[in-house]
Amino acid sequence: MADTDDIQQAKYYHHDVPQQNRAFYLKGAGALDWGMQNRFARVFRPDTGRTVMLAIDHGYFLGPTTGLERVDVDIVPLLGHVDALFCTRGILRSVIPSAPAVPVVLRASGGPSILRDLSDEEIAVDVEDALRLNACGVGVQVFVGGPNETKSVHNMTRLVDAGLRYGLPVLGVTAVGKDMVRDARYFRLATRIAAELGAQMVKTYYVEDGFETVTASCPVPIVMAGGKKLPELEALTMAYRAIQQGAAGVDMGRNIFQSEAPLAMLRAVNAVVHEDLPPRQALELFETLRHGAAGSDGA
Ligand code: 5RP
């Protein structure tokens, strides 16, 4: 308890300085509770309002896919260069060190493997466990237009309700079935549905034509998923365009961890996202880091 002897009279009231109500810097997040904003602030850098999230959750339906065979060996060394990690609680508890701390968004839906109908997911994490893991958010797949559309949207809305009780944001992930058209019209529909039904952030794929209409019509931050492995210049170009067209960051997986030089690629993506570095310069940075000692992947 504070010492009660010689208590000084309070006098520094700064009458001439009005208390400011600071607007929160993320789109659509101004009315969220303090705890939710604080979790957002650990994922989206306050100086840029953007994030480089590394997605390594693929094993939840794919098993040990290329680049993620040994997360402890190949991914842990990258963590100092990510703003947030998107992963399952199994990988988190088994191989991700708790210190130094990396902000985590937990994959919170799952069930079917690659051998079955992927849209047939359930909620796979209790919100209390996400809090126990000090997660900054939970991610759940929504299959708009898919055979389990309503169930997957209901998974999301249940997590939104639970998250609102504790200040835990939900990332709605727009999943696209094999037979569905990946165009701006579809992603406008899917991202808007996710946001309207409560997701505080949304992950979606980039489309060449009209991506800016997807980001403009979604009232919460959008992060771009990377998709299948592309040549580095193409992946950097896609990330650059997504950011310039309104994305608040990326949640990329294969284009980073399946690169021949994941650390160099991650640093190049960082420059694209946080410094608006154009793709050709980002590729030069990638090549320099890849061949130089400082940014090499231990080669
Ligand atoms: C899979 C996911 C992945 O996290 C997402 O696809 C990002 O990874 P990639 O950049 O490899 O596509 O949500 O359901």
Is 251 close to ligand 1, i.e. is its CB under 6 Å away?
yes
pLDDT of residue 9: 86
Adjacent-strand bridge partners of 137: 105
The rounded Å distance from CA 2 to ligand 1 centre is: 52
Q: What's the gap between Cα 50 and its chain centre?
A: 10
CA distance 188 to 175: 13
Place 298 in a pLDDT band, splitting at 50, 70 and 90: very low
pLDDT tens readout for residues 243-271: 999 999 999 999 999 999 999 999 999 99
Is 78 close to ligand 1, i.e. is its CB under 6 Å away?
no
Residue range 54-72: mean pLDDT, rounded: 96
The rounded Å distance from CA 55 to ligand 1 centre is: 6
In ligand 1, which atom is closest to the CA atom of 203?
13
Give CA angle at 230 (224, 235), nearest 5°: 45
CA distance 74 to 95: 11
Pocket test for ligand 1, best of 52, 53, 57, 88 (most atoms within 8 A of CB): 57
Is 146 close to ligand 1, i.e. is its CB under 6 Å away?
no
Pocket test for ligand 1, best of 51, 53, 58 (most atoms within 8 A of CB): 58
The rounded Å distance from CA 66 to ligand 1 centre is: 13
Q: How far is CA 90 from CA 68, 197, 247, 251, in A?
A: 13, 28, 29, 19
pLDDT tens readout for residues 148-206: 999 999 999 999 999 999 999 999 999 987 777 889 999 999 999 999 999 999 999 99
Q: Are 108 and 114 in contact (CB under 8 A)?
A: no
- Atom 13 of ligand 1: nearest residue by CA position: 173
Q: Are 267 and 285 in contact (CB under 8 A)?
A: yes
Buried b (16+ CB within 10 A) or exposed e, 81-93: bbbbbbbbbebbe
In ligand 1, which atom is closest to the CA atom of 254?
11
pLDDT of residue 6: 79
pLDDT of residue 202: 98
Is 83 close to ligand 1, i.e. is its CB under 6 Å away?
no
- Atom 12 of ligand 1: nearest residue by CA position: 227
pLDDT of residue 45: 98
Q: Are 162 and 197 in contact (CB under 8 A)?
A: no
**pLDDT exceeds cutoff 60 at 294:** no
Q: How big is the chain, counted in residues?
A: 299
pLDDT of residue 1: 67
pTM: 0.94
> For residue 133, how many other CB atoms are within 10 A of its CB?
16
The rounded Å distance from CA 173 to ligand 1 centre is: 9
Portion of the chain with pLDDT greater than 70, in percent: 97
Residue 203 annotated in active site: yes
Pocket test for ligand 1, best of 152, 156, 173 (most atoms within 8 A of CB): 173
State the chain's mean pLDDT as an integer.
Answer: 95
- Atom 4 of ligand 1: nearest residue by CA position: 55
Is 57 close to ligand 1, i.e. is its CB under 6 Å away?
yes
- Which one from 11, 203, 228, 229 is the annotated catalytic residue? 203
pLDDT of residue 299: 36
pLDDT tens readout for residues 10-30: 889 999 999 999 999 999 999
Residue for token pair 């208390």:
19
Place 293 in a pLDDT band, splitting at 50, 70 and 90: low
pLDDT of residue 180: 76
